[in-house]
Structure 1
Amino acid sequence: MRQLSTTLDALKRDQDNMRQLSTPLDALKRDQDDMRQLSTALDALKRDQDDVRQLSTPLDALKRDQDDIRQLSTPLDALKRDQDDMRQLSTTVDALKRDQDDMRQLSTTDDTLKRDLDKEGSRTAALEQRLHEMPSCPTGYTMFRGTCYKAFNTRKTFSDAAAACGEDGGTLAMPRDAETDTFLISLHSAVSGKRPFWFGLHDQREEGSFEWVDGSSLGTYNSWCPGEPNNNRGREDCVLHNSEDEWNDAPCNRKYRFICQIVPGRPLATGGTLTTNVLRLSDHPQ
């Protein structure tokens, strides 16, 4: 019994030892499982690493392509700038073409203007030549419509005034139209103001039948003052411009300023008188 008890005790100790050994064994098993899991994860990582290696090749290619694109972008930008420059140049060329067309039109216009200018120059030269050849007025006389006129600021009777005009080679002025009449008024006003003046109209031959000093009839134009001619007291046979710039018959022996007219180019007479149809008898009261 003692031996069996000893054996039993030894078995119990062995059992306890086995229990103590089972704990590290379980730990070893767990570690073995962990190792298996780690091995699996490691294998997965290796596969991922292989995949990454495989991916690195196209990635490197993409990087090289990106570098190539960067290098291409520089000449592309230059091409875009060149394209913009070409557009600006095209606009400038179009403007230059329009300017060229305008210049052609201007050239045509300029040629036309030159021809017209040459024609005008020829006409001007011809007119200057004609003007040079045209007879001029003597000193003191003013040209109007091809006749020379002069206002005298001295007072004379009608016949003496006519004689003074004859000494210059002319006659008393004969305003046969409104324009000439207006010119004579302005010419006289510049010399003598609004004072009356003789001009070459009278009815000494026949009362009421007015004629010019060259013998021609009065004609259609006149500028009589209202109520004139009236031959007041039967003594008014010569005509003057009154202070109202209208015609008025007056005694021929009265002294007034006067206006003469002569033909252009005729030299002033040095002696004698020009014959006129003026009767000196009318200078005296009737």
Structure 2
Amino acid sequence: MSKHSGHHKPHKIANDVYEAELFRMQAELVKVQEWTRTTGARIVVVFEGRDAAGKGGTIKRISEYLSPRVARIAALPVPTEREKGEWYYQRYIAHLPAKGEMVLFDRSWYNRAGVEKVMGYCTPVEYTRFLRQTPIFEQMLIDDGILLRKYWFSVSDNEQLKRFRSRLSDPVRRWKLSPTDLESIHRWEDYSRAKDEMMVHTDTPASPWFVVESDVKKHARLNMIAHLLSTIPYTDVPMAEVKLPKRLESTTNYRRPPRELTTYVPDHVAELMGDAEGN
């Protein structure tokens, strides 16, 4: 079986049902945030998968209503020359959460098991060392109290190609395509073998992989977030009651400076409305 043939597209969830359930889950994620902040928990969520598998869209929905001071996204660029001379995990360690924080890794140390392995960016010795050290590294994180969750977004070859084509003609998403992404089309089986080998070595009882079928993006988002919520032992944290104070009557002779002394942005909206009325 040379291609991804195990995927099938179910009937898609209705948009209103999707939006309602997503919002309900996002409200639960806010509860997770408050629980994390209050208890000092540390959460790491790893998002991995092929290019265009839907990782970024899911991360966006998770973080949409969360405080960036509590929930951070780590999307590391290509390592610098200095970082190439460090212990492989070192630059990822710098982004791990402190007490009361959650970090969402948009790709992670598993780059070595995927693109670096397939594209020859690491040596066979470095790759073998990674497979041996990663379960130990992750066990260290878990032993120190970090809640580690790892998700693999699984997309079929046909759906990935469809998404690549869509990006080519989309001016706001074209930047997501790189030469490495396009190369992955020709190396589908190589990436499949690399993923299988990665799973054999790093899908452990202490740090398992959870596979998210992602041919239907909305289903993938709901399924992944629902699972994440089910694995975190969060509880409701009582929120302090907030009352808006009454505005006091001014007791001073404050006068706002003349409007012409301040530089305002041009009223672009008024121009648009004028154009629309003219048409």
TM range (shorter): under 0.3
- TM (norm. structure 1) is 0.18
- TM (norm. structure 2) is 0.19
Greater helix percent: which structure? 1
Task: State the structure with bigger RCO (CA 8 A, min sep 6), 1 or 2.
Answer: 2
> Which of these two proteins has the greater Rg computed from alpha carbons?
1
